[in-house]
Amino acid sequence: MTASHKVALFPGSLRRHGMTRRLGRILAELAPPTLAIETVEIGGLPLYDADLEAAAPSAWLDLRRQLQGADAVLFVTPEHNRSIPAALKNAIDVGSRPYGENSWAGKPGAIVSFSTGAMGGFGVNHHLRQCLVFVDVPTMQQPEVYLGNADAVIDERGRMVSESAEDFLRQFMTAFADWISLTRR
């Protein structure tokens, strides 16, 4: 089956070999074949500054083009101080500007938050949802993913070591594919 929806995956962490990348690869592998998932690199984005819009940095323009070419967005993120990692918040700001040209608008979205602690990134998940309301990303409500103790379910090589967590994430990705089909404008 050919993929019918292009999903832009936004990692909340910049670490090359960190949990965010491992979890993103797992989600792509567990996704139904209707989803083509591509990671969007956000580490090189200059901080948003409206004064630069007249000659917008090429990294900003590239991000906006990637967003415009995507059918949906998936966020995989750790929690930084009970909130959104700075690089991810910057990507949201860059993609929502200039005023009147919001590249996020109407893209169905989903959030996977995680932590090595028990709460699974609850704070970042809900803070990110608040931001996505404003930039018009209809975000999937259920099932929610707050993956606590992530280092106990995903090993250093990026493999799931918990069959129940793997089953849950597969169900999540199937629900996300359904959400995209239901909400895509």
* Alpha-carbon separation of residue 122 from 106, 151, 153 (angstroms): 24, 16, 18
* Domains in the chain with CATH codes: 5-183 (3.40.50.360)
Strand order from edge to edge, sheet including 5-11: 35-39, 5-11, 72-78, 109-114, 145-147
Task: Tell me what pLDDT residue 185 has.
Answer: 65
- Amino acid 99: pLDDT: 92
* Residues of the chain where predicted confidence (pLDDT) is lower than 70: 1, 185
